[in-house]
Structure 1
Amino acid sequence: MTNLHIVQLYLDLLGITGDRGNVDVLATRARLAGHEVTVEAAGIGDPSPAAADIVVIGNGPLSAVRAVRDDLASRSAWLSERRAAGASVFAVGGGAELLTEGIALLDGTSVDGIGMLTARVARTRTRKVGYVVADTVDGRLVGFEDHASEWSVSDDAARYGRVVSGIGGIAGGFETVAADGVWATNVQGPALPLNPQLADAILRRALGDAYATTDAHAAIDAHARAARAEIERLAASKHFTAIKL
């Protein structure tokens, strides 16, 4: 049995799309697999926890992204060390954008990222709102997107999901970046309750062969499959909505 340490950064500022739900899914699935779990939050100015097997960074408005940027940059070495040690990083929306090389804003200014991902983000005047479905190496990724960003990803292998319904956040019809233990997504709502296969990929990275699913996982996953099927039906039958800003 392993004690899995999950750290959520900036819960008070980056958590507007149910991002605590992603933490709850990871913790629950780890416990069902027989592991002890410690969940810790770290905000601006707090010390970075010595133990961190999974780091979760949530979504927030541009004001929150700007507010946490310098603090996150000060944790860049810590994040890189944890990643090199086998930790997983899961980030959503605005928090995910800060992991890139930078965010270009509509007014011509930019917000520097910390460069953990070889990607750049451009805020656009078109807000992508609706269901999104994408095929990935771990199975179908489904959920809801609501953002006005377009990612440019220089490493083709890092494009995690090819969109089959919706638009997605990555130029060329892709959604979510996955590279060396980092997952960065615009799937919100939160993402992991609907996508246990992605939660398991994050947990396997952190726990290795010590992580294995059980009958208890299968019972939960049955509910996720039913919800996913309905979302896929709606995504295929309803037109995507893009709001011009």
Structure 2
Amino acid sequence: MTRTLTIISLLPHLLNTNGDAENARVLAQRARWSGHDASVVTVTNRADLPDVVDAIVIGSGSDAALTEARDVLLTMVDKLREWTTAGVPLLAVGTGWELLSWGIELTDGKVIEGLGLVAGRAVPRLTRATDDLVVTSKHGRLVGFENHARDYVGAEASPLGRVAYGAGNGNGGEGLVMGDVVGTHLHGPVLARNPRLADHLLTAALRRAGVDYAPGERTISVDAVAEAARDRVAAGLSLPSA
């Protein structure tokens, strides 16, 4: 690869309450371990957007920041739509994912209009989901924790995986996949705990640059730690081995 892989972290000052913006750093480090230059660009407004983007990360924030974050994202929605349509991988976690949807329904009846980049909407749960979340997916067993007051409806045909433990979307599925856009309730950060999902996103990013992705040797020990952590969570929940 002759240029630096550019990964943007959108609005981490508003959408990083669970450290989810650090998923951008995970992607960048795994890219470097595979022999490719990579940088993380922090984006707080439209003027910060680089000309070339290879991957996008959006974290999760508090409900108090929803409207402000939505308004800033609206100023760049045309670029986000252009990039995702072109196959740029995007990972959105928690409220960052909800903001990309049709809209967010709050418990007081207020509706915050989303960007409409992905199908579905967020609706209030009877009780807040705050626990471990374990998901069966094509990327193997995904493990993290969830902390959300809303279910996700309207995108049942394209979940990231099926819930083995926890609430997820509230209908047996967890997350959303539309092309190379991935939405999830998994915190952790999710890519540090589930490197196969990180490598899936990196494969998509590098494919667009005409480069094949192969994990570097440094990932062997790191991935072993992540696997042990996932196994420990599963054992604590009395789930069978993956």
What TM-score, normalized to structure 1?
A: 0.91
Three-state SS of the structure 1 residue aligned to 2:236 is helix
The amino acid of 1:142's aligned partner reads V
Residue 168 of structure 2 corresponds to residue 163 of structure 1 = no
Contact 2:160 2:184 in 1 (8 A): no
Aligned position for 2:194: 195
| Aligned residue number for residue 243 of structure 1 | none
- Structure 2 unaligned regions, length at least 5: none
Distance in 1, Cα, partners of 2:52 & 2:127: 40
Letter in 2 for 1:164: A
Q: TM-score by structure 2 length?
A: 0.92
Distance in 1 (CA, whole Å) between partners of 2:212 and 2:186 is: 28
Displacement after TM superposition at 1:45 (Å): 5.2
Using the TM superposition, give the Cα deviation of residue 202 of structure 1 relative to its aligned residue in structure 2, in angstroms: 0.9
Residues 198-217 of structure 1 mapped to structure 2, 5 A cutoff: 198-208=197-207, 209-217=211-219
Kindly provide the amino acid, as one letter, of the partner of residue 131 in structure 1. D
Paired amino acid for 2:228 = A
Hey, what's the Cα distance between the residues in 2 that align with 1:173 and 1:66? 29
**1:120 match:** 121
Q: CA RMSD in A?
A: 1.5
Secondary structure of residue in 1 paired with 2:148? strand
Question: Matches of residues 73-112 of structure 1 in structure 2 within 5 Å?
Answer: 73-112=74-113
Distance (Å, rounded) in 2 between the aligned partners of 1:186 and 1:30: 24
The Cα of 1:176 is off from its aligned counterpart by 1.3
**1:177 corresponds to which residue?**
176
Alpha-carbon distance in 2 for matches of 1:64, 1:121: 16
- Residue identity over aligned pairs, in percent, reads 37
Q: Structure 1 residue 138: deviation in Å?
A: 1.4
Match of 2:138 in 1: 137
> Where does residue 220 of structure 2 map in the other structure?
218
Residue number in structure 2 paired with 1:242 = none
Kindly state the Cα deviation for residue 115 of structure 1 after the two structures are TM-superposed. Answer: 0.8
145-154 vs 194-203, greater mean Cα deviation:
145-154
Q: Which has the higher strand share?
A: 1
> In structure 2, do the counterparts of structure 1 residues 234 and 91 end up closer, same or farther at CA, with 3 Å as the change threshold?
same
Report the alpha carbon displacement of residue 155 of structure 1 after superposing the two structures with TM.
5.0
Residues 155 and 176 in structure 2, CA contact (< 8 A), matched pair in contact too: no
- The gaps in structure 1 that reach 5 residues or longer are 238-245
The amino acid of 1:20's aligned partner reads A
- Offset at residue 21 of structure 1 (A): 2.5
Report the Cα offset of residue 232 of structure 1: 1.0
Residue 234 (structure 2) pairs with residue 232 (structure 1): yes
Answer yes or no: is the 8 Å Cα contact 1:150–1:171 preserved in 2. Answer: yes
Amino acid at match of 2:112: V
Question: Is the partner of 2:53 in helix, strand or coil?
Answer: coil
1:145 alignment partner, SS class: strand
